[in-house]
Amino acid sequence: MQDLINIFVRSIFIDNMIFAYFLGMCSYLAVSKTVKTSNGLGIAVIFVLIITVPVNFLINKYLLSPGALSFISPSLANVDLGFLSFIIFIAVIAAIVQLVEMIIEKFLPSLYNSLGIFLPLIAVNCAIMGASLFMQERELQTFGESFFFAFGSGIGWWLAIISIAAIREKLSYSNIPKPLRGAGIAFIITGLMAIAFMSFLGITI
């Protein structure tokens, strides 16, 4: 249990998707103009992450990792399909995003209205693919670990985007040098926020 909480806290604060790995920066910079839309996108990212990463975990564990196919027949124990992981992960992500979009549209129309426009964007959000690749790279062992890693990463991303959106809303009242307006100042503020987040380094529970 303690391990799971540790993974969860670590992925929110220390290995934050935005501040430590710059994942999902494109939509982070493009959408973070108001808190309301940022919140919608953040929740959509959490939602898609906690579905895709565990699914990719199962695929990686039972189909792709070296020797994983031995449960079919012992003669397949030497097969390593690892080289297929990129294409399979992205296909799974694209398919799940499509599926989630259809399910939400059918059963939760109010949620669909608030998340709808963001869902297709998410298929190519680097944070989603990045989380699956990190899951594979760090060799997470259990289903629970992959779930809490995905949940924590999603929360971390949501936290980052709503904080920058809140700052950018206030920024519209300040007098910034003209060439720095828009993207330039957003980069510098993200950098300063990343420095602040570095103070969480070394936290363990």
Interface ranges with another protein (CB under 8 A): 19-26, 29-30, 83-87, 89-91, 94, 123-130, 133-134, 137, 172, 177-188, 190-192, 194-195, 198
Q: Which is nearer to another protein, 166 or 194 (CB)?
A: 194
Q: Which is nearer to another protein, 67 or 191 (CB)?
A: 191
Pick from 52, 13, 15, 53: nearest CA to 163: 13
Amino acid at 53: V
- Minimum Å gap between C-beta 74 and another protein is 27
- Minimum Å gap between C-beta 31 and another protein is 12
- Minimum Å gap between C-beta 34 and another protein is 14
Give me Rg for the CA atoms of the chain.
19
Q: Which is nearer to another protein, 72 or 80 (CB)?
A: 80
Residue 160 burial (CB < 10 Å; 0-12/13-18/19+)? Answer: buried
Count of residues making up the chain: 205
- Minimum Å gap between C-beta 127 and another protein is 8
Q: Which residue reads 């604060």 in tokens?
A: 13
How many Cα atoms occupy the beta-carbon half-sphere of 61 within 13 Å?
A: 15
Q: Which is nearer to another protein, 201 or 205 (CB)?
A: 201
Q: Which is nearer to another protein, 126 or 166 (CB)?
A: 126
DSSP conformational letter for 65? S
Return d(Cα 14, Cα 7) in angstroms, integer. 10
- Minimum Å gap between C-beta 159 and another protein is 16
